[in-house]
Amino acid sequence: MVTGAARRRPTVVIGMLVLSMLAAVSVIYLRLWAIDSGFSSEDRDSLRKQFDRANMEAMDESAEWRMKYDREVESVRQYKEEVIQVNEALTTANEKLALLQK
């Protein structure tokens, strides 16, 4: 038979886990708040400008890589079409050669 203490044990463990998670979140929030309170409005503005500049540079670099990718895809498509055309020409030439040999 299961005793009352055995039934309460999982509830206590779950309660302790929830309490420890809340404590961890509270500590993290308080540390972030303490760090943030040390910044002045000028610091925030300069950080925002730096972030915006870095974001724009990243977007520009991403656009450059996308253009390079698009160019490569187009050149591969053209090469593929040329290979297909050459393959078709060789196939018809082989068929004509086979007809001439008969």
pLDDT, tens digit, 9 for 90 and up, residues 31-84 = 877 776 666 778 888 989 999 999 999 999 999 999 999 999 999 999 999 999
Confidence (pLDDT) at 33: 75
DSSP-derived letter for residue 38 is: T
CA 102, CA 97: separation in Å to the nearest integer?
Answer: 9
Mean of pLDDT over the chain: 87
Comparison of pLDDT for 2 and 91, the residue scoring more: 91
CA 48, CA 54: separation in Å to the nearest integer?
Answer: 10
Confidence (pLDDT) at 75: 96
pLDDT, tens digit, 9 for 90 and up, residues 7-19 = 677 888 899 999 9
Comparison of pLDDT for 6 and 86, the residue scoring more: 86
Confidence (pLDDT) at 3: 61
Comparison of pLDDT for 64 and 6, the residue scoring more: 64
CA 33, CA 22: separation in Å to the nearest integer?
Answer: 16
DSSP-derived letter for residue 3 is: -
CA 70, CA 94: separation in Å to the nearest integer?
Answer: 36
DSSP-derived letter for residue 40 is: -
